[in-house]
């Protein structure tokens, strides 16, 4: 019987495939018994399809039947492999049968690249895995996502795969650290899948290999991060014991602690903190784990984080939000209260707590109280004021806002005795209810300046009005922290739906027909009071002894030394807050204020005031620059901060705080918070102007006295100079008179030295010059401070006026209040201007003294130069006379030496001489030979200088002739300006003077002989175009390159005119 030849499926093929799909072995055998050969292409296709379906069902007898009739075990084109179907259906016997019949173990599904080994590993079919690996399956094959069978098996969440599966893969060469396209390893997949057993298998070492616990994917995410994200506490604990680093940072700055805090996994956060996770680590946007926990409302987690002593709740993200603001933005009231500054006392270090308990804050309430009192002055520790909390009432122990005070003051003033940014923020922001106002007020602390030294931290001079945005009737833009409504506390709103709709869609008020405009004296209803912030420098003082104690304390903190004994509150304050992220602002000297960024220790110990005190045997004092920080919050709260003196004594005539309180008591009435702010401003600026203060505290008068002392001493020195000058003149005249009379030098050799020493003694003048410079420098610093005060006063005036105009009060009352304040402002401005004029007057006097000292030094220098010149001339005359004497002696020697030689020759007993020689004979030879030798030698002695000069010129000329050759004959006749002959020579091979860069190119073309006309050249080596002086020296350029200098010959014996070789001037 023939086989089916057609390629189109007929009814028999359809019945065959349906029987295979149903697993009907009997029907399949009946079809095979019909006698067909099943050899055509369509027959083979039908057999493959039937084998796929039967393999997927796992019917081993039918699989064997189909294989006996020639079914192919490997698919064609896009068909699915029967082996893959068998493994996918979890039929290990069928899979082994197919492998034994030659099925390919590495066939991959086209859509995802998976092979049978991937599926077998995923389902934990160890027998199939073993068979596949034995058949040659690749253990490092990759699917389309880059995963290997080991990685694919690790993604299984149910834990069907086991250690045996991984062991077989590793034994066949699988890479335990293989990564897929996103960089995940098998351990990362196991952690991300939450499979604890798989993680243990990879890390325990039971496979013979141990996975890298610190490995991360392409973004740096580790297994610990995945475990923390999925809230697998057991896995997190195990990974930490296996060496996982809780501080590992991924892209964007994420850590395991961040993701656990964001998702509210308190148990995981606890484990991470115990392992040393960075609690203040920040993302690229600045958010910390506390930010995430607060923003997502995880109260338990926030409490856990705040219990850590290393927590910093003041960190701001890139949106300028603290964790408290994040909680407030999401209406998490309880968390906002936990993070408020009032609740931060327990998080302070013991040293900081001791400092806060050691300093006293001042609270002054203004109003109408018992016994006709207008003010109540109270003292509380800083800790009680800022961090005191009543757990029963869940409120601060000491309320900051006057509205929460029992005796209901009209307004309140709170003062902190230190420029501490953290304490000031806690006070100014504590209990604030409006979110936007809180954020606006917080921005004022960005005016802080930073630097490497302790005195570099300060606030810039600043004055600004912070106006919160107006909220609508529904209260949007305002997040109450202290007094939320019921909907924000988790309770249901009992209002009806109609009431809510009516509130949200309230009718707009209609304008009155009678009044086209609002009345001027009618208050504005929807006006929110603004806040005014002021930072200003002002002058104060400190004793030298206390200043040294403060410096020593700062150095100890910088060096990391620990406190010992019973430290004072000042020591505790410096130790507790100097090294914080926002450090304590220490008191500064004048030089520290003006020269920020440099060490001014040497300059600080030599102030004008300290010199004055030392000169007059007073207690050592020095000027300091303090800062006034002032906030007017709303209309009923004034907050100030300025530093006390070191170990502030109880009796101090210049105590600023006591002066302000005395001034308040002396005032008839302090009508408003703005009056109080102006009063505080005035006392800080005028602390040295108190009329009853002892003269020892009149520091500006010390400058005046120091300048006057220098002027007086300068006048005395000038008179002394006149006396010495007159003495030197008389001494010179007497010296000349005595020289003329006795013909010898004066007999007193010390007179000359005395006069010169008196004129050259410049030590006192130099010291006075240095002192007057210091005075002017410090006056300049004080003027800068006064300038800052003037600018801030003007700004403060305009801002308060603007605030009052917009406050919504009645216009006449507002105008009256503004008028009173302007009167105070004008008075204070007049005081500052008066002080400015005083400083300018003192500076002019100091400048005149400086100029006079400079003039005195110049006079001394000129006088000493004149005396030195006089003495030099006398010495030259003396030397000339001595030279003449030596010349006479030389001439005498020259004359008599040859004669003596001839005479001694005649005295020798020689036979030729014979008996006594006649006189004419002896005289002829003696004088003839002697004078013949003496006369030429005398001439040479008188002209030895000219002889040496002529010899030098001869040698130079000979050298140039040998090396360069003489100039052409037609140039030898050139004459100078006076008509004399000029000798010129030029080198052949190049310039005699190689500094050609200083010469300008000649504007004249070369002549026939190759020489240019001469041009002017500067004698100082620079061309006239660059500022050199033209001396009319003539240059010639031979062959376009060579340069020759032309100069007049020098003949000292000639009476005619010659040129000075240095200055170029004619000497007659």
Confidence of residue 534 (pLDDT cuts 50, 70, 90): very high
* pLDDT reading at 993 higher than 50: no
Confidence of residue 524 (pLDDT cuts 50, 70, 90): very low
- Pick the more confident residue, 960 or 984: 960
pLDDT value at residue 159: 62
CATH number of 698-739+750-901: 1.10.287
pLDDT value at residue 587: 94
pLDDT value at residue 554: 92
Q: What is the pLDDT of residues 677-704, one digit of tens each?
A: 999 999 999 877 766 667 788 888 889 8
> Average pLDDT of 969-974?
44
pLDDT value at residue 913: 63
Helix axes 750-760, 811-906, angle to 10 degrees: 150
Confidence of residue 423 (pLDDT cuts 50, 70, 90): confident
pLDDT value at residue 1019: 41
* pLDDT reading at 185 higher than 70: yes
Confidence of residue 603 (pLDDT cuts 50, 70, 90): confident
Q: What is the pLDDT of residues 556-584, one digit of tens each?
A: 998 888 888 889 999 999 999 988 888 89
Task: Give the 3-state secondary structure of 965-1014.
Answer: CECCHHHCCCECCCCCECECECCCCCCCCCCHHHCCCCCCCCCCCCECCC
Task: Give the 3-state secondary structure of 747-767.
Answer: CCCHHHHHHHHHHHCCHHHHH
On whether the pTM is more than 0.75, the answer is: no
* Rounded distance between C-alpha atoms, residue 223 and residue 215, angstroms: 8
Residue 209 near residue 170 (C-beta atoms within 8 A): yes
* pLDDT reading at 465 higher than 50: yes
* Rounded distance between C-alpha atoms, residue 908 and residue 348, angstroms: 121
- Pick the more confident residue, 943 or 284: 284
* pLDDT reading at 478 higher than 50: no
Longest dimension (CA), the chain: 185
> Average pLDDT of 53-63?
86
At CA 196, angle to CA 190 and CA 198, rounded to 5? Answer: 55
Residue 240 near residue 271 (C-beta atoms within 8 A): yes
Q: What would the two tokens of residue 567 be? A: 């430290």
Phi and psi at residue 177, to the nearest 5°: -105, 15
Residue 386 near residue 345 (C-beta atoms within 8 A): yes
Task: Give the 3-state secondary structure of 38-74.
Answer: CCCHHHHHHHHHHHHHHHHHCCHHHHHHHHHCCCCCC
Q: Which residues, 6+ apart, have CB-to-CB distance to 256 below 8 Å?
A: 222, 224, 225, 227, 228, 229, 236, 246, 248, 268, 272, 277
Q: What CA–CA distances, in Å, run from 908 to 565, 897, 901, 902, 918?
A: 110, 17, 11, 10, 15
pLDDT value at residue 30: 78
Q: What is the pLDDT of residues 918-964, one digit of tens each?
A: 778 777 777 788 778 888 888 887 787 888 888 889 898 888 888 76
- Which helix (DSSP H) or strand (DSSP E) does residue 892 occupy? helix 811-906
Range 1-78: architecture per CATH: Alpha Horseshoe (1.25)
* pLDDT reading at 95 higher than 80: yes
Q: What is the pLDDT of residues 376-397, one digit of tens each?
A: 999 999 999 988 888 888 788 8
Residue 989 burial (CB count, 10 A): 10
Mean pLDDT of the chain: 78
Q: 3-class SS at 543?
A: strand
For residue 52, count CB atoms less than 10 angstroms from its CB and return exposed for 0-12, middle for 13-18, buried for 19 or more. Answer: buried
Closest by alpha carbon to 292, among 305, 275, 273? 305
* pLDDT reading at 1059 higher than 60: no
pLDDT value at residue 890: 79
pLDDT value at residue 468: 67
* pLDDT reading at 167 higher than 80: yes
Q: What would the two tokens of residue 327 be? A: 């909680």
> Average pLDDT of 445-459?
87
* Rounded distance between C-alpha atoms, residue 631 and residue 423, angstroms: 14
Q: Among the residues of 516-653, which ranges form H helices?
A: 544-558, 569-577, 590-594, 601-604, 608-615
For residue 308, count CB atoms less than 10 angstroms from its CB and return exposed for 0-12, middle for 13-18, buried for 19 or more. Answer: middle
Q: What is the pLDDT of residues 224-236, one digit of tens each?
A: 999 999 999 999 9
pLDDT value at residue 392: 83
At CA 25, angle to CA 23 and CA 26, rounded to 5? Answer: 135
Task: Give the 3-state secondary structure of 391-449.
Answer: CCCCEECCCCCHHHCCCCCCEEEEEECCEEHHHHHHHHHCCCCCHHHHHHHHHHHHHEE
* Rounded distance between C-alpha atoms, residue 941 and residue 890, angstroms: 9
Q: 3-class SS at 195?
A: coil
Q: What is the pLDDT of residues 633-645, one digit of tens each?
A: 888 899 999 999 9
- Pick the more confident residue, 352 or 998: 352
- Pick the more confident residue, 861 or 501: 861
Residue 401 near residue 637 (C-beta atoms within 8 A): yes
For the ranges 173-177, 482-486, 876-880, 1030-1034, which has the lowest average pLDDT? 482-486
For the chain, which residues make up each domain, given as ranges? 1-78, 347-469+477-482+526-582+627-683, 698-739+750-901, 945-1068
> Average pLDDT of 41-51?
82
* Count of CA atoms in the C-beta half-sphere (13 A) of 340: 29
Q: What is the pLDDT of residues 118-148, one digit of tens each?
A: 999 888 888 899 999 988 899 999 999 999 9
Confidence of residue 989 (pLDDT cuts 50, 70, 90): very low
> Average pLDDT of 881-897?
78
* pLDDT reading at 462 higher than 70: yes
Confidence of residue 298 (pLDDT cuts 50, 70, 90): very high
> Average pLDDT of 809-838?
85
Q: What is the pLDDT of residues 830-857, one digit of tens each?
A: 999 999 999 999 999 999 988 888 888 8
Q: What is the pLDDT of residues 855-885, one digit of tens each?
A: 888 887 787 777 777 778 778 877 877 777 7
* pLDDT reading at 976 higher than 90: no
* pLDDT reading at 417 higher than 90: yes
pLDDT value at residue 692: 64
Q: Which residues, 6+ apart, have CB-to-CB distance to 92 below 8 Å?
A: 125, 127, 128, 131
The b-or-e profile of 664-683 (16+ CB within 10 A means b, else e) is beeeeebbbbbbbbbbbbbb
* Rounded distance between C-alpha atoms, residue 313 and residue 341, angstroms: 9
Confidence of residue 1012 (pLDDT cuts 50, 70, 90): very low
Closest by alpha carbon to 1031, among 1009, 1044, 1014, 1049? 1014
* Rounded distance between C-alpha atoms, residue 396 and residue 389, angstroms: 4
* pLDDT reading at 984 higher than 60: no
Confidence of residue 723 (pLDDT cuts 50, 70, 90): confident
- Pick the more confident residue, 486 or 300: 300
* pLDDT reading at 967 higher than 60: no
* Rounded distance between C-alpha atoms, residue 487 and residue 479, angstroms: 12
pLDDT value at residue 437: 62
């Amino acid at each position: 019987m023939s086989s089916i030849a057609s390629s189109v499926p007929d009814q028999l093929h359809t019945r065959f495939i349906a029987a295979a799909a149903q697993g009907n072995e009997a029907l399949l055998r009946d079809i095979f018994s019909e006698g067909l050969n099943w050899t055509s292409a369509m027959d083979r296709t039908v057999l493959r399809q039937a084998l796929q379906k039967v393999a997927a069902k796992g019917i081993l007898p039918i699989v064997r039947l189909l294989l006996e009739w020639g079914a192919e075990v490997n698919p064609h084109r896009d068909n699915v492999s029967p082996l893959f179907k068998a493994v996918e259906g979890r039929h290990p016997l069928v899979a082994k049968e197919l492998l034994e019949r030659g099925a390919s173990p590495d066939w991959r599904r086209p859509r995802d690249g998976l092979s049978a080994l991937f599926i077998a590993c995923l389902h934990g079919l160890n027998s199939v895995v073993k068979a596949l690996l034995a058949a040659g399956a690749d253990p490092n094959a990759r699917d389309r996502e880059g995963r290997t069978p080991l990685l694919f098996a690790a993604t299984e969440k149910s834990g069907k795969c086991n250690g045996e599966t991984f062991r077989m893969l590793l034994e066949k060469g699988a890479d335990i650290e293989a990564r897929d396209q996103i960089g995940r390893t098998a351990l990362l997949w196991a952690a991300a899948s939450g499979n604890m057993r798989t993680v243990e298998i990879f890390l325990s070492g039971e496979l013979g290999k141990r996975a890298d616990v610190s490995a991360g994917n392409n973004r740096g995410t580790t297994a610990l991060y995945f475990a923390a994200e999925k809230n697998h506490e057991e896995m997190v604990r195990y990974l930490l014991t296996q060496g996982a680093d809780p501080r590992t940072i991924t892209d964007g700055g994420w850590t395991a602690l961040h993701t656990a805090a964001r998702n509210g996994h308190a148990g995981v956060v606890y484990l991470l903190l115990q392992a040393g996770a960075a609690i203040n680590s920040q993302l690229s946007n600045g958010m910390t784990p506390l930010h995430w926990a607060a923003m997502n409302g995880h109260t338990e987690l926030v409490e856990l984080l705040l219990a850590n002593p290393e927590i910093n709740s003041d960190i701001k993200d890139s949106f300028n939000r603290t964790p408290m603001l994040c909680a407030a933005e999401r209406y998490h009231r309880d968390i906002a209260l936990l993070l408020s500054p009032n609740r931060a006392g327990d998080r302070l270090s013991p040293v900081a707590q001791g400092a806060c308990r050691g300093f006293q804050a001042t609270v002054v309430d203004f109003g109408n109280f018992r016994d006709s009192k207008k003010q109540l002055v109270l003292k509380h520790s800083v800790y009680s004021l800022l961090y005191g909390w009543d757990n029963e009432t869940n409120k601060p122990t000491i309320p900051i806002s006057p509205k929460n005070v029992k005796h209901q003051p009209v307004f309140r003033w709170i003062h902190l005795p230190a420029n501490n940014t953290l304490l000031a923020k806690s006070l100014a922001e504590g209990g604030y209810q409006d979110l936007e106002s809180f954020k606006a007020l917080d921005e004022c602390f960005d005016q802080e300046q930073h630097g490497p030294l302790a005195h570099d931290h300060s606030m810039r001079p600043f004055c600004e009005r912070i106006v919160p945005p107006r909220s609508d009737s529904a209260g949007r833009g305002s997040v109450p922290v202290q007094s939320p409504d019921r909907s924000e506390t988790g309770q249901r709103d009992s209002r009806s739906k109609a009431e809510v709709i009516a509130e949200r869609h309230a009718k707009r008020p209609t304008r009155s027909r009678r009044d086209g405009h609002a009345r001027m004296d009618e208050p504005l209803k929807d006006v929110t009071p603004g806040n005014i912030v002021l930072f200003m420098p002002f002058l104060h003082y400190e004793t030298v002894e206390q200043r040294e104690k403060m410096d020593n304390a700062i150095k100890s903190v910088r060096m990391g030394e620990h406190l010992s004994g019973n430290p004072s509150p000042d020591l505790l304050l410096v130790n507790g807050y100097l090294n914080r992220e926002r450090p304590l602002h220490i008191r500064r000297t004048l030089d520290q204020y003006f020269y920020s960024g440099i060490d001014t220790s040497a300059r600080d110990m030599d102030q004008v005031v300290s010199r004055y005190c030392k000169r007059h045997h007073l207690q050592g004092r020095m000027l300091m620059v303090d800062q006034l920080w002032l906030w007017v919050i709303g209309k009923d709260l004034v907050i100030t901060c300025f530093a006390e003196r070191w170990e502030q004594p109880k009796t101090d005539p210049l105590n600023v705080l006591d002066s302000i309180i005395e001034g308040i008591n002396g005032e008839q009435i302090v009508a408003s918070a703005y009056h109080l702010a102006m009063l505080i401003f005035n006392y800080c600026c005028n602390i040295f102007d108190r009329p009853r203060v002892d003269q020892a505290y009149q520091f500006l008068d010390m400058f005046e006295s120091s300048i006057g002392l220098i002027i007086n001493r300068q006048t005395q020195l000038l008179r002394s100079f006149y006396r010495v000058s007159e003495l030197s003149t008389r001494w010179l005249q007497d010296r000349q008179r005595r020289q003329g009379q006795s013909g010898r030098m004066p007999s007193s050799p010390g007179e000359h030295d005395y006069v010169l020493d008196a004129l050259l003694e410049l030590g006192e003048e130099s010291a006075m010059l240095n002192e007057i410079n210091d005075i002017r420098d410090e006056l300049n610093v004080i003027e800068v401070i006064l300038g800052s005060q003037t600018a801030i006063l003007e700004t403060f005036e305009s801002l308060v006026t603007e605030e009052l105009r917009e406050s919504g009060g009645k216009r006449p009352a507002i105008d009256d209040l503004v008028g009173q304040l302007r009167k105070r402002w004008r008075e204070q401005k007049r005081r500052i201007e008066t002080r400015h004029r005083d400083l300018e007057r003192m500076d002019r006097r100091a400048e005149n003294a400086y100029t006079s000292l400079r003039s005195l030094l110049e006079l001394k220098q000129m006088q000493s130069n004149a005396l030195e010149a006089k003495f030099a001339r006398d010495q030259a005359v003396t030397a000339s006379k001595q030279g003449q004497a030596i010349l006479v002696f030389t001439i005498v020697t020259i004359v008599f030496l040859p004669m003596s030689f001839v005479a001694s020759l005649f005295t020798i007993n020689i036979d030729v001489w014979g008996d006594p020689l006649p006189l004419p004979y002896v005289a002829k030879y003696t004088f003839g030979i002697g004078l013949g030798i003496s006369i030429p030698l005398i001439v040479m002695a008188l002209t030895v200088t000219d002889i040496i000069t002529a010899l030098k010129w001869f040698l130079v000329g000979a050298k140039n002739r040998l090396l360069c050759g003489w100039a052409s004959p037609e140039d030898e006749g050139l004459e100078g300006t006076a008509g004399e002959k000029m000798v010129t020579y030029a080198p052949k091979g190049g310039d005699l003077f190689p500094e050609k860069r200083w010469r300008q190119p000649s504007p004249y073309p070369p002549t026939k002989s190759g020489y240019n006309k001469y041009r002017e050249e500067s004698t100082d080596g620079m061309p006239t175009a660059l500022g050199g002086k033209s001396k009319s020296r003539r240059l010639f350029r031979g062959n376009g390159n060579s340069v020759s200098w032309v100069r007049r010959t020098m003949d000292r014996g000639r009476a005619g005119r010659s040129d000075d070789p240095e200055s170029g001037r004619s000497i007659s």
